[in-house]
Structure 1
Amino acid sequence: MGAAVKSAVLLVAVVLGMLVEVPAGHAAGCAKSTQVYQDPPSWAQKLIDPSRIWLLTKGSGQTVAVIGAGVDGGNPQFGRDQVLPSDDLVSRPGGVPDCDGRGTFAAGIIGAQPSPDTTFVGIAPGVKLLPIRYTAGSGDTSGGNPGQLATAITQAVHAGAGTILVDVPTTVDSPALDDAVGAAIAAGSVIVSPAVGTQGSTFPTALPGVLSVGAADRNGAAVQAEAGDYIDIAAPGADLVSTAAGGYGHVWPVKDSAAAAAYVAATVALLRAYQPKATPAQIVNRLTLTASRAPGGGRDPKLGWGIVDAYTAVTSQLPLTAPGPDAAPAAKAPPTLVPAAAPAQPPLNALVGGLALGGVGLAALAGLITVTIRRGRERRWRVSP
């Protein structure tokens, strides 16, 4: 009798399980979300304000590699075929593309498409996203094997990624990682890596040539513990919102110093699309020179040269060969930033205003001509031959 009851209970559970909607690819213990962010735009999105840049570029033609624990391309806020097939160096936990959700969160900050269902949108919605999994993603920030990370960076270069975001850096350096970073930069890729260490440096964040990113909250205070003279720039890292793994939706508010690098990687992609001839060193130089500096203007060990200013970085007429912030004192002062020319397509309200002013001008001119002709007739003016 006991066995029969157990069988009946099991059957009911199976039937109920069939009726429960489970996100595609979801596994027990992995991230999932069905909540859609519908509050006003977050402070981070207001700070970057990407819509001002989109008249110039949305990052089209650029591929951004997201190296870490995977990306769930099934979130509907990614465009069709925007998330490229994942290149996995390790197995997928539970068979899902992104179990802990970090990669999907970063990918959304970079390239999520505008949607009428939410105020959240990515910084560079025109880019392609290339997930490369080199670590299973346990929820910590220690990352995985530096040799596997080196392989992932090399694969990203071979796949044509001009921007490489190391979403999950490692705490251990290796000659193979150093060589892979150097080769990627020499090949023209910009490597962006966050400062997420709790005790000491992370890699490739601390390596030469890497665009190293600190994190700040809405008050401009540093979020992460890692510090060093290698940190170049900072970006939002607290009270964040972005796309969630394991279903349609978002996750917020999130405090994650690694997510700051996604904002910078998106800005790099916008720059690469708008300045296609710029080298990695020139792009890093442009970002650091245009960053919003703290009072005093010096280099902060956690925030670098200041908070990223995407609009100024993209639009300023700044010489690509300008001296960087680490140049000699005589050449250290950044050149004057000159805003770029206005886009060829004026805003609708400006266009309507111009037409209205033009109409007023024409009406006034017509009135003047009418009065002149009337007075001429009264005074019997004649036009001389």
Structure 2
Amino acid sequence: MVGIAGKSAVAGCAAFMGTLGAPVPATAVAEQCANPTGTYTAAVSWGQRLIDPARIWPLSRGTGQLVAVIGTGVDGGNGQFAPGQLVGGQGTEAQDCDGRGTIAAGIVGAQPDPSTTFTGIAPGARILPIRYTQANGGGDPGQLASAIDAASDRDAGIILIAVPAATDDPALTGAVSRAREKGALIVSPASGTQQGASSFPTATPGVLAVGSANQAGEAVQAESGSYVGLSAPGAELVSTSAGAGGTVAHRWPVSDPGLAAAYVAGVAALVRAYHPELSPEQVVARLTLTAHRGPSGGHDPRRGWGSVDAYAAVSASIPAGTPGPGGPPQVGPDTVVVPAAAPVRPGTDKVSGVVAIVGVALAAAAGVVVAAARRGKRRGWKPSRFRAS
């Protein structure tokens, strides 16, 4: 469920869901649909600090990437979306009563704005808003399949399932297969709230399934399985709100396991923009290989291979042939994935900027450093995770 301070948009929308895709009456919008909490001006939220997108923007802002947000639509009236950033046309929906699609889209690509400390991960990306349901709890898997086909037909390179379905359908499996054949990376949350429950297409082969974690790193969703690839923030979040009426406005605190996938979709946009030569499978391998490992260093059925590390995912040099999600994403005990040097922040002097650029180039050229086996054994080192320098 969406845990949002104040009035529940979900409960209101469910009451008049009616025919899928039908326009929402203006009176219902005013009384029942999502409304902003306000403009967020407090300290940068923990989820945004974890991803730290500003650190990555000198390398990639997600420019050139089209991210489909499939769920409840996206309210184009929020002032933190750039003009033209939300792509219109056939199959799109720029209204969002429930509010979840707008929250997810903001996590992916909201623009930096001086009135708020909140920003999206990949502000250079464009958003393709597609609605297949108006209410929380998922919708018809056949209609979700049609929505995925619509995103694929519009050449979305990343397809974010903001609201997965609670049941499977052969049509949904077919839509996933067709989208993958066209080169799309599908990201879907493991958002089931009951033990043993699965979300779809989250559990469908070929989909990057994302678990949800709180600030302490604990999994917050009940859904689990070997298909969960990695985890991202899903509790006590901040993002853009529906119902902003042209202003910069937000909802907080938002707790919804489904929103973890929005963080990963934003990071995937950064990766694909910086590494356009990579296939969706290679992007998934990069995301899982560079994730912050848990204490065991292995796979956790609720948190996958660990928490997404956005900077390492974009900048790391990974050897060709390194095992990815098709097998355990581990490398030999003497192999180290080397992220590029941190780029200089805006406002520093030109000499430091040149040094930083050279550092990035040298780190990329250095690639993978293979330590001597004797040294590794002597130190007793084990690759619990790949970490940024």
* Structure 1 equivalent of residue 271 of structure 2: 271
Is 1:158 paired with 2:158? no
Cα 1:260–1:323 shift into 2, 3 Å:
same
Q: Deviations over 1:15-54 (max 9, x none)?
A: xxxxxxxx99943210112610000100111110001110
TM-score (normalizing by structure 2) = 0.78
Classify 1:330/1:172 alpha carbon distance in 2 versus 1 (closer, same or farther; 3 Å). closer
Q: 1:216-264, CA deviations, whole angstroms, 9 ceiling, x for partnerless residues? A: 0000000111011100000001110000000131011111101100000
Letter in 2 for 1:273: A
- In the other structure, the counterpart of 1:116 is 114
TM-score under structure 1 normalisation?
A: 0.79
Q: Within 5 Å, give how 1:1-385 maps onto structure 2.
A: 26-33=29-36, 35-85=38-88, 87-88=90-91, 97-137=95-135, 140-141=136-137, 143-199=138-194, 200-247=197-244, 248=247, 249-319=249-319, 321-324=321-324, 327=327, 335-340=335-340, 348-351=347-350
The 1:38–1:86 alpha-carbon spacing in structure 2 relative to 1, beyond 3 Å, is farther
Q: Counterpart of 1:28 in 2: which secondary structure?
A: helix
- Amino acid across the alignment from 1:64: V
The answer to whether the Cα contact below 8 Å between 1:66 and 1:107 also exists between their aligned partners in 2 is: yes
CA 1:264 to 1:328, structure 2 compared with 1: closer, same or farther past 3 Å? closer
SS for the counterpart of 1:261 is helix
Find the aligned partners of 2:226 and 2:330 in 1 and give their Cα distance: 20
Q: Which residue of 2 aligns with 1:16?
A: none
Contact 1:235–1:307, Cα closer than 8 Å, also in 2: yes
1:158 shift after superposition: 1.0
1:24 to 1:216, Cα distance in 2 relative to 1, 3 A: same
Q: CA deviation at 1:341?
A: 5.6
Seen in structure 2, the aligned counterparts of structure 1 residues 346 and 173 have a Cα distance that, compared at 3 Å, is closer
Residues 166 and 115 (structure 1), Cα distance of their counterparts in 2 relative to 1, 3 Å cut:
same
Q: Secondary structure at the match of 1:265?
A: helix
Moved more, 105-114 or 198-207: 198-207
Quickly say closer, same or farther: Cα 1:70–1:335, change in 2 above 3 A. Answer: farther
What RMSD, in angstroms, separates the aligned Cα atoms of the two structures?
A: 2.5
Distance of aligned partners of 1:347 and 1:253 in 2 relative to their CA distance in 1, 3 Å threshold = closer
Query: Secondary structure of 1:259's partner?
Result: helix
Report if the CA contact (8 A) 2:73-2:102 is conserved.
Answer: yes
CA shift, 1:210, in A, is 0.4
> Greater shift after overlay, 327-336 or 283-292?
327-336
CA spacing shift, 1:215–1:87, aligned 2, 3 Å: farther
| 1:235 and 1:308 in contact (8 A); partners too | yes
> How many angstroms apart in 1 are the aligned matches of 2:330 and 2:78?
51
Structure 2 residue matching 1:185: 3-state secondary structure: helix
Q: 2:228 aligns to what SS in structure 1?
A: coil
Quote the Cα distance in structure 1 between the aligned partners of 2:335 and 2:180: 25
CA contact (8 A) 1:324 1:332 kept: no
Q: Which moved more, 1:293-302 or 1:315-324?
A: 315-324
**Of the two, which has the highest radius of gyration?**
1
- The percentage of counterpart residues that share the same residue type is 56
Separation in structure 2 between the aligned mates of residue 347 and residue 122 of structure 1, nearest angstrom: 18
Q: CA deviation at 1:326?
A: 5.0
SS of equivalent to 1:214: strand
Shift of 1:330: 8.8
Note closer, same or farther for the CA distance 1:165–1:296 as it changes in structure 2 (3 Å cut): same
